[in-house]
C-alpha cells in the first residue's frame, strides 16, 4: 500500500478561534507537532488539515478520497467536535477507508486514530470508534473540577504541559509510522525510515516493562514514568489502547505478562475505566486498575515476574470501591503477590523503579 500523507488533523473550526493576534489552538498544535515529529523522524512528515471548510459546508468527497492514502488521523475532541456531523463523518470515513485498504484500523494493537482531547466531553458522546481509546488529554482540572486547557494563555505552566503532552503524542505517532512501515514492507510501504533517521522507542535489550493503566488523576504521573523508562532504553507495554471488553483485556494482558520483566501499578484516588463485563452483576465488576493488578498477582503465583505497586501518599478517596481496593492492597498478601508496595513521593518511587531494575540486571549477570 502506497501512502502519500502521514496525518490528517480532524477538528471543528470553532476550536481554532484565536484571541487577539495569537494563533488558534489547532494552528499552534499543528505547527508544534510538525516541528517535533520532524525532529523525531529526521524528515518532514506530511500533516494535512482543511483550513478553509466552514461549519455549514457540504461534506467534501475530495477529502474522503484522500483517506485511503493516509497513514493516521488525529481527532481533536471538544464539545463542538462531537456535535459536528462533518467531524464525526470524517472518523467514520477514515475507518471505512482503512478497512477497504486491507491495512486495517490497528497495526500491532496500535490504533491509527489518535484521540486528542482539548476540552473534555462525556465518554458516551465520543464517536463510537473512539470511545475505547484513552487518548491524549490536553487539559487538567482545577480544585473545583473545571478543565484548564494546556496553552500558553495560561502562562509557563500551561505552555510546558502542552509541550510535554505533545511530545508524548509525537513519539507515539512516530512509533505507529514505523509499525506501518514494518508491516507494509519497504518496497510498497511508507517511506519513513532512512539510514540516518533516528530511532523512536526501539527496545535496546534492557528489558520490557508492563505499565498498568491508571485512573484519571494519575494520567500525568504515568506519562512521566513511561517517558523516563523509554528514555532509559526500556520497552514499555501496552503500546496502544487495551481492549475495552473484559474477556479480551484479560487475554491480552496475560499474554503481555509472559514477555515482560516487571509490572508497575500506580494507584490513586480515581479508579479509572471499568471494562465491559457483559452480563456480569455490578458487584463482580472491577476497574481496569484493579483488574490488571489482580491478573498480575495471579500470574506471579506461578511465574517469576517482579512487581512494583505505588499508592499515592495522602490520598483522599471518595469512591468506595477504590477505597476498598486500596485497603485490600495494603492488607491482603494475595493482592500483593510478587510485589513491593510503596507509598512515597513519585520521585522517590521512580528511584525505586530504577534501583530495582539495576538489581535485576546484576542478578541476571551473576
Condensed to tens digits (0 to 9), the pLDDT of residues 125-145 reads 999 888 878 789 999 888 788
pLDDT recorded at residue 108: 73
pLDDT recorded at residue 318: 86
Write the burial class of residue 11 (CB in 10 Å: 0-12 exposed, 13-18 middle, 19+ buried).
buried
- What is the CATH number that goes with domain 5-184? 3.40.50.360
* Residue 298: count of CB within 10 angstroms of its CB: 15
Q: Which residues neighbour 302 within 8 Å (Cβ) at sequence distance 6 or greater?
A: none
Where in the chain are the domains?
Answer: 5-184, 208-365
In this predicted structure, the answer to whether residue 364 has a pLDDT above a threshold of 60 is: yes
Domain spanning 208-365, CATH architecture: 3-Layer(aba) Sandwich (3.40)
d(CA 98, CA 106) in angstroms, rounded, equals: 9
What one-character-per-residue DSSP string does 128-153 give?
Answer: GGGTT---EE-EEE-TTS-EEE-SGG
Domains 5-184 and 208-365 share a fold: yes
Write the burial class of residue 118 (CB in 10 Å: 0-12 exposed, 13-18 middle, 19+ buried).
buried
Strand partners, 267: 311
Nearest to 336 by CA among 344, 345, 351, 326: 326
Condensed to tens digits (0 to 9), the pLDDT of residues 285-313 reads 899 999 999 999 999 999 989 999 999 99
Q: Residue 187: which pLDDT band, with cuts at 50, 70 and 90?
A: very low
What one-character-per-residue DSSP string does 335-364 give?
Answer: TTTTEEEE-S-HHHHHHHHHHHHHHHHHHH
Amino acid at each position: 500500500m502506497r501512502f502519500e500523507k502521514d496525518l490528517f488533523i480532524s477538528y471543528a473550526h470553532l476550536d481554532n478561534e484565536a484571541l487577539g493576534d495569537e494563533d488558534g489552538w489547532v494552528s499552534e498544535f499543528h505547527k508544534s507537532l510538525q516541528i517535533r515529529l520532524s525532529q523525531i523522524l529526521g524528515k518532514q512528515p506530511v500533516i494535512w488539515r482543511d483550513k478553509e471548510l466552514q461549519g455549514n459546508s457540504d461534506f467534501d468527497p475530495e477529502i474522503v478520497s484522500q483517506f485511503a492514502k493516509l497513514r493516521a488521523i488525529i481527532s481533536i475532541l471538544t464539545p463542538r467536535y462531537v456535535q459536528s456531523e462533518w467531524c464525526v463523518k470524517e472518523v467514520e470515513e477514515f475507518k471505512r477507508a482503512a478497512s477497504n485498504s486491507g491495512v486495517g484500523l490497528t497495526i500491532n494493537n496500535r490504533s491509527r486514530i489518535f484521540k486528542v482531547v482539548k476540552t473534555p466531553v462525556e465518554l458516551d458522546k465520543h464517536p463510537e470508534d473512539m470511545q475505547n481509546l484513552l487518548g491524549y488529554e490536553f487539559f487538567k482540572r482545577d480544585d473545583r473540577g473545571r478543565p484548564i486547557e494546556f496553552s500558553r494563555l495560561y502562562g509557563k505552566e500551561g505552555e510546558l504541559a502542552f509541550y510535554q503532552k505533545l511530545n508524548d503524542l509525537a513519539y507515539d505517532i512516530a512509533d505507529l509510522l514505523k509499525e506501518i512501515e514494518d508491516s507494509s514492507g519497504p518496497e510498497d510501504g511508507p517511506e519513513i525510515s532512512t539510514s540516518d533517521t533516528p530511532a523512536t522507542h526501539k527496545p535496546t535489550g534492557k528489558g520490557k516493562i508492563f505499565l498498568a493503566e491508571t485512573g484519571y488523576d494519575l494520567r500525568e504521573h504515568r506519562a512521566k514514568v513511561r517517558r523516563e523508562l523509554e528514555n532509559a532504553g526500556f520497552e514499555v507495554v501496552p503500546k496502544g489502547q487495551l481492549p475495552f471488553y473484559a474477556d479480551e483485556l484479560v487475554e491480552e494482558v496475560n499474554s503481555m505478562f509472559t514477555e515482560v520483566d516487571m509490572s508497575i501499578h500506580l494507584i490513586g484516588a480515581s479508579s479509572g475505566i471499568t471494562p465491559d463485563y457483559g452480563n456480569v452483576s455490578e458487584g463482580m465488576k472491577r476497574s481496569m486498575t484493579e483488574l490488571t493488578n489482580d491478573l498480575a498477582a495471579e500470574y506471579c503465583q506461578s511465574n517469576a515476574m517482579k512487581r512494583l505497586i505505588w499508592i499515592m501518599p495522602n490520598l483522599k478517596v471518595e469512591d468506595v470501591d477504590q477505597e476498598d481496593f486500596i485497603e485490600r492492597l495494603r492488607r491482603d498478601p494475595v493482592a500483593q503477590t510478587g510485589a513491593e508496595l510503596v507509598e512515597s513521593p513519585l520521585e522517590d518511587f521512580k528511584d525505586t523503579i530504577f534501583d530495582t531494575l539495576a538489581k535485576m540486571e546484576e542478578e541476571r549477570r551473576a
